[in-house]
Amino acid sequence: MPSLYVHVPFCKAKCAYCAFYSVPAEREIINSYLTALEQEITRRASEAPSGVFSLYLGGGTPSILDPTALAKLLELIHRHFIIKPQSGESQSSALKPAEKTCEANPGTLHAEKMAVLVGYGINRISLGAQCFNDNILKTLGRIHSSEDIGTAVRVVRKAGIENLNLDLIFGLPGQTLADWQHTLNKAIELEPEHLSLYGLMLEKNTPLGRKYLSAGEHDLPDDDLQADMYEWAVDFLDAHGYKRYEVANFAKPGYECSHNLAYWRLEDYIGLGPAAVSCLNNIRIKNEENIDLYTNRLLNEGRGYNPRDVEVLSLKDRMAEYVILGLRTVWGVDPREFKRKFNKEIQDIYGSVLTDYQKNGILLLENGKIKINPSYLFVANSILQKFV
């Protein structure tokens, strides 16, 4: 079964670092979006005849929708898709309900919205906290304060949600190691089950990108300080029961994100909404990254994407993605699974790279699996380039 992602491209305000597609949350545009999304869902539900095993509402800010629009969105999804846990798992995990996540921002949640979400089985909230320094939050263009984060968590918990993720960013303008340590201390005081830690990425078409990419001098933490921030976080979170299971993701036992694990295992997924990406049967498509174009294509052509944005993944592409994504996790890549999946020996494809990295202690072979040495996970992206 594939997983299901639905892009809800609305925000109250655009954050200074964000390059994801989003538009202002205006009622007329939201109604147009829901009409177009209904067309796409109706046409594409047949792509998952046995159902989907997880649901992820991302954005944008899904929680910016009012309760009526939120209910309409969730009703559409549940009317057309069966959402159920994957079979073939252990007996204990099979008893758990399917994971259903909604991204949210502090300042956009209240009891009525949470009642709608919980009523449709949403059982995981991913909250965009980012940091607990109010001055930095203002620099980022966030609409909330650090106090609002705690308020949002209380609203989420009161609604009965027992699986909460906090998104946090390090490497921010003016951020010191002490600031980052304060952020993580405040975060774990709120007792989330999961934490995602991202280093700031400067995108050229964002306010922060335009400000810093061409600047000779700036107040961004340098690479060494960012490495210190990350390594301190790994040790700190481990000491508080959060185990790193992917470069940027930490969870208490049993709370790893099922939806994201499917991406890292190169499993099929369906993406709905403007700018959403799908990958089924080795064919990847990306919907129009513009709500008007997306709507027009659906109404006139019966699809939300330009045929030019269809990519057939070659065997080489799939092997590379499988290795790159797998090595980002603490479980690494199993050569036997690689052989089963691609009918190739991993050594025949990547032998020289594997040998070189193992010789230099960058890759380890543990219990038959190839893994990145934990000391090198912070620079995983540069290591993995050789597998492209």
In a domain, 291, yes or no: no
Say if 330 falls within a structural domain.
yes
The CB density around residue 157, as the number of other CB atoms within 10 Å, is: 15
Asked which of 203, 235, 264 is the last residue of a domain, the reply is 264
- Look at residue 276 and tell me if it is in a domain: no
Least confident of 24-33, 87-96, 290-299, 374-383: 87-96
> 116 and 241: one domain?
yes
Residue 28 maps to a domain: yes
Q: What is the number of domains present in the chain?
A: 2
* CATH number of the domain to which 349 belongs: 1.10.10.920
| 220 and 116 together in one domain | yes
What gap in Å lies between CA 250 and CA 1, rounded to an integer? Answer: 25
Answer yes or no: is pLDDT of 31 > 70.
Answer: yes
The Cα 164–Cα 74 span in angstroms is 20
Boundary-marking domain end, from 232, 264, 296:
264
pLDDT score at 89: 45
Does some domain include residue 271?
Answer: no
Domain limits at 101? 3-264
- Mean pLDDT, residues 318-340 taken together: 97
Residue spans of beta strands (DSSP E) within the chain: 3-8, 10-11, 23-24, 54-59, 99-104, 124-130, 164-170, 194-199, 243-246, 249-251, 269-272, 277-280, 283-286, 310-312, 363-366, 369-372
pTM recorded for the entire structure: 0.94
The model's pLDDT over 42-76, given as tens digits with 9 standing for 90+, comes to 999 999 999 999 999 999 999 999 999 999 999 99
